[in-house]
Structure 1
Amino acid sequence: MRPTVHDIAAAAGVSLATVDRVLNQRPGVRHVTREKVEAAIREIGYVRDVAAANLAKGRTYSFVFIVPASDNSFMHGLNAEVMAAVARSPVERTDIRTVEVPAFDPAALAAALDTLRAERPAGVALVATDAPEVRDAVDRMVQDGIPVVTVVSDLTGSLRHHYAGVDNIAAGRTAARLLGRFLGGAKGDVAVLAGSMLVRDHRERLEGFSAVMADEFPDLSILPVIEGRDDPDMAHMLVSDALSKRDGIIGVYSLGAGNRGLIRALKETSVARVLTVVAHELTDHTRAALLDGTIDAILNQDAGHEVRSAIRVLKAKADGLSVIDAQERIRLDIFLKDNLP
């Protein structure tokens, strides 16, 4: 049976009030009495339930999500999941707010982190841009005792506590295998649409994609990456330009967002040519494109799971508790038109 505060009081020969003052490091306890209580804690193997103690004290966790200000459907969905967490705040004892920064702007993200560091929230979750100034700002925050979790895109090499997102190298490898199999041994070019190579998730997806293509589908040539900055209008313009200039393109891999623009460009060329397309993130627009055959497969990450995971981890870190890795693993889903949820 797990030891309780009553067991500590009995072993030390003191009152429950004295045990409570020692556990919560409050004044009013003589040095010799404090030592007796601490010795009793060690002898009976008492481990304090920090989460229960915080619940009893009515502690509220102040968390901040830093998200990019971006006109793409996935980030809108991520924001919606954060807002859903805000709505659950009274039940979950959280006080959550969001801070928006320009997408793919390391300086702005680093400045936002430094501003928050001075405010000392209980934890920060961010969609990371992989740059030295962002890494340094995260490290300063962690060194100041503030838990940090990256969401969707990681910041390896930093002191961040946890990453809530899919394995992006595996996602890129999966996309390559799907695209290569769908093309069935055909020879031609593959266009790749990314948001920006400044973010690690896009770089890792490209790394995994390129590796499988080179090893298993050598007749498919990957063209230089198109960076659409996850902007639908820019993606539309750049993809349309690429398709108009290269007749040899037979496949497209969209490894970021901006899929509304991609879909527009694909529909404008659908009469003249058939393209095999794999993209990321299930949204209203990509769902419709799967159903009408414009896109062949979608790789999806559950933004709601990522937000909930970030909150759980930040709570655990704020309380000094361990994280259950299996619970926080984010699954990569593959959707065709036949298995849409």
Structure 2
Amino acid sequence: MRPTVHDIASEAGVSLATVDRVLNGRPGVRQKTKDKVEAAVEKLGYVRDVAAANLAKGRIYPFTFILPLNDNSFMQALDEAVQQERLRGRIDRTQIDIVRVPAFDPAALAAAIDQVAETEIAGVALVGIEAAQVSAAIGRLRARDIPVVTLVSDLEDSARDHYAGVDNEAAGRTAGTLLGRFLTGRSGKIGILAGSLAVRDHANRLKGFRHVIETGFPDLEILPAIEAQDDSARSRAMVSEAIAADPDMIGIYSLGAGNRGLIGALETARGNGREIVTIAHELSDHARKALESGIFDAVLNQDAGHEVRSAIRVLKSRADGLDVIAAQERIRIDIFIKENLP
């Protein structure tokens, strides 16, 4: 049975109020009495339950989520998940603010981080962009002892505390294995549709994908990536142009968003007699329909709600000085094909 503050008071021969003052570092306790309490704590092996103490005090955790302004379905799902958790604030004792910045704009993200740093916050979660100014802004937050969690796209080289998202290099390897096996016995070229390779998740997915294709499927050639900024209209135009320009393109890996435009380009290609094996990310409504119709062959998915809840748990733990339970915060890579749609 775990020792309690009552056990400490009894062992030290002091009141509960005195134990509380010592444990919380408040003044008004003689050094001799403080030594007795600390000796009792060590003897009994007492470990303070910080979360329970904060609950008893009614502590509220003010967190800020910095999210990209983007019309792609996954980022909208992420935004909605944050808003849902915001509504749960009274239950979870959180006060969540949302700051939205232009997508793929490192200067805007760095400015938002610096602006948030001037407020009274217990933690920040953000979608990372690979840029020195963003890492520097995160460093300034951490210098103020404000915990930072990156969402979806990590910044491993920054001072961030935790990353809440899938292993994107593993996701790319998974996509490469699937596409390579779907194209077994065929030779040809593979198109790559990305939002921006300046974000770590897209770059890491391509890295993993390239490794598998180049080492395991020598008959497949990877074409230069199309960076369409996750914009559906641009994706449709650029993919349509790439398909028309290269009759040897037999597969596409869409490692970002912009899938509505991609689907339009693939439907046009199918109408012209071109069947292109396609692996995409995120099970949005239109991705689901593309799987059902055979336009997509497989979709890799991550749970936006799980990532947001994980970020909140980690920020709370960091604010309380507690360890993170790594297994609880692991985000899965789900693989969907037409036959196993939920």
| Identity among equivalent pairs (%) | 62
More divergent stretch after superposition (282-291 vs 35-44): 35-44
Aligned to 2:280: 279
RMSD: 1.0
Name the residue aligned to 1:237.
237
- Aligned-residue offset at 1:185: 2.0
2:340 counterpart of 1:333: no
- Name 1:163's counterpart in structure 2: 163
Using the alignment, how far apart are the partners of 2:204 and 2:160 within structure 1?
A: 18
Deviation of 1:127 after TM superposition, in Å, equals 0.6
Is the 2:176–2:212 contact (alpha carbons within 8 Å) kept by the matching residues of 1?
yes
- The residue aligned with 1:297 is 298
Counterpart in the other structure of 1:190: 190
Q: Distance in 2 between matches of 1:298 and 1:201?
A: 16
Answer yes or no: is 1:249 the counterpart of 2:249: yes
1:143 offset after TM fit, Å?
Answer: 2.0
Greater shift, 129-138 or 280-289, is seen at 129-138
1:120-141 Cα shifts (integer Å, max 9, x gaps): 3111111100111111111221
In structure 2, the partner of 1:179 is: 179
1:107-118 matches, cutoff 5 A: 107-118=107-118
| Secondary structure of the structure 2 residue equivalent to 1:171 | helix
Please report how far the alpha carbon of residue 31 of structure 1 lies from its aligned counterpart in structure 2 after TM superposition: 2.9
* Letter matched to residue 157 of structure 2: G
Q: How does 1:32-43 map to 2 (within 5 A)?
A: 32-43=32-43
CA distance, structure 2, for counterparts of residue 254 and residue 56 of structure 1: 49
Partner deviation per Cα, 1:255-289 (whole Å, 9 max, x = no partner):
00111111111111111211100000000010011
Q: Look up the match of 1:12.
A: 12
Q: In structure 2, give the amino acid aligned to 1:2.
A: R
Given that residues 164 and 328 in structure 1 are in contact (C-alpha distance below 8 angstroms), is that contact kept between their aligned partners in structure 2?
yes
CA–CA distance in structure 1, aligned partners of residues 7 and 96 of structure 2: 38
Q: Does 1:309 align with 2:310?
A: yes
- Matched residue type, 2:168: N
Separation in structure 1 between the aligned mates of residue 185 and residue 94 of structure 2, nearest angstrom: 53
2:78 match: 78
Whole-angstrom distance in 1 between the partners of 2:337 and 2:46:
52
Structure 2 equivalent of residue 269 of structure 1: 269
Do residues 134 (structure 1) and 149 (structure 2) align? Answer: no
* Segment drifting more, 29-38 vs 221-230: 29-38
Stretch moving more, 117-126 or 298-307: 117-126
Q: Which amino acid aligns with 2:177?
A: R
Structure 2 Cα separation of the partners of residues 224 and 185 of structure 1: 23
Work out the CA distance in 2 between the residues paired with 1:90 and 1:312. Answer: 15
- Amino acid aligned to 1:316: S
CA contact (8 A) 1:185 1:217 kept: no
The ranges of structure 1 where at least 4 consecutive aligned residues each deviate by more than 6 angstroms after the TM superposition are: none
Task: Determine if contact 2:300/2:335 at 8 Å carries over to the other structure.
Answer: yes
**Aligned equivalents of 1:109, 1:185: Cα separation in 2:** 46
Structure 2 residues not aligned, in runs of 5+: none
Secondary structure of 1:119 counterpart: coil
- Tell me by how many angstroms 1:142 deviates: 1.4
Aligned with 2:118: secondary structure?
Answer: helix
CA distance in 1, matches of 2:163, 2:293: 35
Q: Which residue of 2 aligns with 1:146?
A: 146
For 1:25 and 1:116, how far apart are their aligned partners in 2? 29
For 2:243 and 2:170, locate their aligned partners in 1 and report how far apart those are by CA, in whole Å. Answer: 27
Tell me how far 1:34 sits from its aligned partner.
2.2
Q: Is the 8 A contact 1:190 1:222 kept in 2?
A: yes
Matched-pair contact (CA < 8 Å) for 1:121–1:146 = yes
The number of equivalent residue pairs is 341
State the 1:32 CA deviation: 2.7
Shift of 1:149: 0.6
CA–CA distance in structure 2, aligned partners of residues 274 and 2 of structure 1: 64
Alpha-carbon deviation of 1:116? Answer: 1.1
Q: Aligned pair 1:219/2:243, yes or no?
A: no
The aligned amino acid for 1:234 is: R
CA distance in 2, matches of 1:185, 1:281: 28
Distance 1:120 1:128 in 2: 22
Note if contact 2:250-2:276 (Cα within 8 Å) is conserved in structure 1.
yes
Report SS of the residue matched to 2:2: coil
Q: Give deviations 1:42-76, integer Å, cap 9, x for gaps.
A: 22221110000000000011111111101101100
Q: Decide which moves more: 194-203 or 132-141.
A: 132-141
Which letter does structure 1 place at the counterpart of 2:280?
A: A
Q: TM-score, normalised on structure 1?
A: 0.98
Q: Is the CA contact 2:62–2:120 (under 8 Å) kept in the aligned structure 1? A: no
Name the counterpart of 2:320.
319
